[in-house]
Structure 1
Amino acid sequence: MVAVSPSTISDTKLMAATGKTRGEWHALLDAENAPTWSHTQIAAWLHREHRVDGWWAQGITVGYEQARGMRLPGQQPDGTFAAGISRTVDGDRQTTLDRAVSLINDHLDTGPDSVSRDAKHPTARWRLADGTGMLVTVSPAGIGTVNRSRVALTRLRLAGPESLAPAKAELAEILNALAG
């Protein structure tokens, strides 16, 4: 059994963004019998009834599902697991995407199924023969950064929680090569 992931967002930040702490959101959801709802229903209720921004509604929903035993860390709504890591590296988004695609192609010994260059956050996706996948997303590194990009690598559709640590190690190896 995998333990619940510790929250990476403090109650102070959650309160500032949503007007409530994690415990207050959980109590409201418990009062609505939200453990019987789907992930989509919980997030939609938070947005509709409490005007919680979509990003925050997703975070509250995942935290609630983990706290109530509805979802393990890394588990997706379809029951599969995903592992991801990210790092800021030197390079603009397009050059960084090209470097990442080349490294991942070499690592997986296959090319991506799709590449989206025109979005604010360019991506490339691989569907692998074993049913899993890989996603790279390149984003602006942040305000005031010049010629730096944030690269997020995600392994998708993993079979179980035992796959998470090896997948993160695999992703770290790729990111280390990209940053080096």
Structure 2
Amino acid sequence: MQQDSIGSSGEGIGDAKVIETTGRGRDEWFGILDEAGAASWTHPEIAAWLAADQGVDRWWSQHLTVAYEQARGIRSPGQRQDGSFEASVSRTVDLDAVDALHALANLVAAELGVEPLARNTSARHPTARFHLDGGEFVLAGSSPRGDGRSSISLTWGRMPDGSRIADVKAALREWLGRVG
């Protein structure tokens, strides 16, 4: 499989957007966090401090916390708070959310050779969850866009290390490309 680069949390959102929504850029936030001693705090402590003490919206406090942890070498790209690794991809398709989820879940089942443990098509954002050997999982999801199209996503989680992230993302992208 083709190797993809693994980006950090901050690469998907420009610093101008961070400044617009939080009042400061990442580097300024990172300096404030360093000064406060956040490099020795847990993820929940950093996010809570940003939200409660600095007035940062909770979503943005999570984003800044992950970006800070990655910038300071506390967390690798793709690494979750529990130490496991996760890869996620998404794209928009010309299907409604339920049809998109069915198409995606059927494709994933064929690729993995396993049926989903759970498939929830009655939720606003339908999902199907596939459990794999070793505790890993694949989560297929679909979200309506309001224009008859849907955003579909795949997440492969609980990988023990980051060595497969690029290959997994490439496979997941290929699977998404075959839906819709």
TM-score (norm 2): 0.90
Residue 159 of structure 2 is matched in structure 1 by 158
Alignment root-mean-square deviation, CA: 1.7
Residue 45 of structure 2 is matched in structure 1 by 41
**Do the aligned residues in 1 keep the contact of 2:85 with 2:161 (CA within 8 Å)?**
yes
* SS of 2:138 mapped into structure 1: strand
Q: What is the alpha-carbon distance in structure 1 between the residues aligned to residue 59 and residue 121 of structure 2?
A: 23
Which runs of no fewer than 5 residues in structure 1 stay unpaired?
none
* SS of 2:164 mapped into structure 1: helix
* SS of 1:170 mapped into structure 2: helix
Q: Deviations over 1:118-153 (max 9, x none)?
A: 333222111112321101121123xxx521100111
Q: What is the alpha-carbon distance in structure 2 between the residues aligned to residue 157 and residue 116 of structure 1?
A: 21
Q: What is the alpha-carbon distance in structure 2 between the residues aligned to residue 53 and residue 129 of structure 1?
A: 37
Count residues in correspondence: 175
Residue 174 of structure 2 is matched in structure 1 by 173
- Partner AA of 1:27 in structure 2: G
TM-score (norm 1): 0.90
Which runs of no fewer than 5 residues in structure 2 stay unpaired?
none
Moved over 3 A (4+): none
1:99-118 alignment to 2 at 5 Å? 99-118=103-122
**Do the aligned residues in 2 keep the contact of 1:3 with 1:72 (CA within 8 Å)?**
no
CA shift in 2, pair 1:118/1:55, >3 Å: farther
- Of residues 128, 135, 138, the one that matches 1:134 is 138
